[in-house]
Amino acid sequence: MSLAGLRILVSAGPTFEDLDPVRFLGNRSSGKMGFAIAQAAAQRGAEVLLVAGPVALPTPPGVVRVDVRSAAQMHAAVMQALPCDVYIGAAAVADFTPRQVAAGKIKKQAGMETLTLELVRTPDILAQVAASARRPRLVVGFAAETDQVEQYARGKLERKRLDLIAANHVGLAGSGFEADDNALVVYGRDGFERALGPAAKTELAHALLDLVQAQLAARGPET
């Protein structure tokens, strides 16, 4: 199914929150799922902008890429890219960042048995996109959970006022952040639920875009 004429914004990968010039807080996201979605959308004819955290992946053909490092940088890049028709937030964005970044390397000193870090909340990109005056026609989030997957995913869907959320159970062998395969359950409004996979992330990307296109078709043309 063609996505020609649509502008799709995808965020992918982790964010790195610097502690000092040497260390950072990060996560295990490889960016593979978000990059697969960007690639699949471009293959279907969409105009695709990919906001990518620090990952070692090539830019998919036909995709415009903006590289960022921190949650604040990803937030700024995503909000600047609005408006668009669809936003798919596949990035694993840090929820907290250090209040202060040390100018020099934090040194271990004699008798120093603990180190306390003060962390502050980062901007909630998904919630702000969904609440924006330039809100896309469809806002799709991701939820990576270790337990109570449906409960947490549906809670995030409602709390952030998303249209769809793709949930995956991290920590299972052969799927998740660093693997080439994954399994998703997509939840939507009015009790909508659809299981996708297990399959290669490239296949899941097309399956997810099928759901996106069905949602857009059900809503009718933009007014």
User: Band of the pLDDT at 138, cuts 50, 70, 90?
Assistant: very high
Average pLDDT over residues 141-147: 90
pLDDT tier, 1 (very low <50, low <70, confident <90, very high otherwise)? confident
Residue 27 bears catalytic tag = yes
Is there a domain that residue 27 lies in?
yes
Q: What angle do CA 142, 163, 165 make, to 5 degrees?
A: 20
What confidence score (pLDDT) does residue 174 get?
Answer: 54
The answer to the question of residue 103 being in a domain is no
Q: What is the pLDDT of residues 22-37, one digit of tens each?
A: 999 999 899 999 999 9
Q: What is the pTM of this model?
A: 0.93
For tokens 């992946």, what's the residue?
A: 57
Mean pLDDT, the chain, whole residue set: 93
Q: How many domains does the chain have?
A: 1
> Average pLDDT, stretch 40-69?
98
Provide the pLDDT for residue 177: 59
In a domain, 112, yes or no: no
Domain membership flag for residue 104: no
Residue 180: the pLDDT is 86
In a domain, 165, yes or no: yes
Higher pLDDT, 65 or 109: 65
Q: For the chain, where are the alpha helices, taking DSSP H only?
A: 32-43, 71-81, 125-131, 149-159, 201-219
Q: For residue 93, what are the domain limits?
A: 7-97+118-219
Residue 97: CB atoms within 10 Å: 21
CATH number at residue 24: 3.40.50.10300
* Residue 170 resides in a domain: yes
Confirm whether 108 is domain-assigned.
no
Catalytic residue of the set 27, 132, 202, 213? 27
In a domain, 126, yes or no: yes
Residue 2 pLDDT class (50, 70, 90 cuts): confident
